[in-house]
């Protein structure tokens, strides 16, 4: 990941840094609110939901940002001499933020949550725990 960041930084040196800034804001806005809000307010939000939100939303942000007008086709884009954008929005947050919420919800429902055992319920081992005894001579 670090090598990729260095490569992108060297290739975009001297160009408009607004594209990379928009990418970082879109990535943060697409991943952090779903994870934080679901972790605080939703019961049974699991680590699988976090993984689905992160690993599903970040590639979506990268693809939509790469094919947006911020990357090509406009005078202030990263590659102003090329035109290969098919996504019409300058930043993909309008699509990726709801996608982050949806992916986090699907991921947390994908793995069933085991019910906690009751304190008075038998655990099924069939034997009572052995009493703790001190060693002789102490």
DSSP 35-74: HHHHHHH-TT--HHHHHHHHHHHHHHHHHHHHTSTTTBSS
pLDDT of residue 100: 93
Residue 43 lies in a domain: yes
Residue 6 lies in a domain: no
Residue 132 lies in a domain: no
Q: Which structural domain range is residue 62 located in?
A: 16-110
Residue that has been written with the tokens 């060693």 in this structure? 135
Residue 4 lies in a domain: no
pLDDT of residue 93: 86
pLDDT of residue 138: 54
Inter-residue contact 48 to 108 (CB < 8 Å):
yes
Residue 127 lies in a domain: no
pLDDT of residue 11: 76
Q: Tell me phi and psi for residue 88, to 5 degrees.
A: -80, -15
pLDDT (tens, 9 = 90+) of the chain, 138 residues, equals: 678 778 877 877 777 778 788 888 999 999 999 999 999 998 888 888 999 999 999 999 988 888 888 878 777 777 777 788 788 877 888 999 999 999 999 998 876 556 666 655 655 566 666 666 666 555
pLDDT of residue 5: 76
Domain count, the chain: 1
Residue 30 lies in a domain: yes
């Amino acid at each position: 990941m670090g090598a990729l960041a260095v490569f992108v930084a060297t290739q975009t040196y001297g160009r408009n840094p607004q594209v990379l800034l928009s990418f970082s804001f879109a990535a943060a806005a697409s991943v952090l609110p779903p994870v934080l809000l679901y972790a605080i307010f939703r019961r049974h939000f699991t680590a699988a939901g976090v993984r689905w939100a992160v690993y599903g939303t970040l590639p979506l942000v990268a693809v939509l940002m790469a094919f947006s007008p911020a990357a090509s086709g406009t005078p202030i884009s990263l590659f102003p001499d090329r035109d290969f954008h098919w996504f019409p929005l300058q930043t993909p947050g309008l699509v990726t933020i709801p996608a982050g919420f949806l992916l986090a919800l699907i991921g947390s429902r994908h793995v069933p949550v085991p019910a906690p055992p009751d304190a008075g319920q038998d655990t099924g081992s069939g034997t009572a725990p052995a009493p703790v005894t001190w060693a002789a001579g102490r």
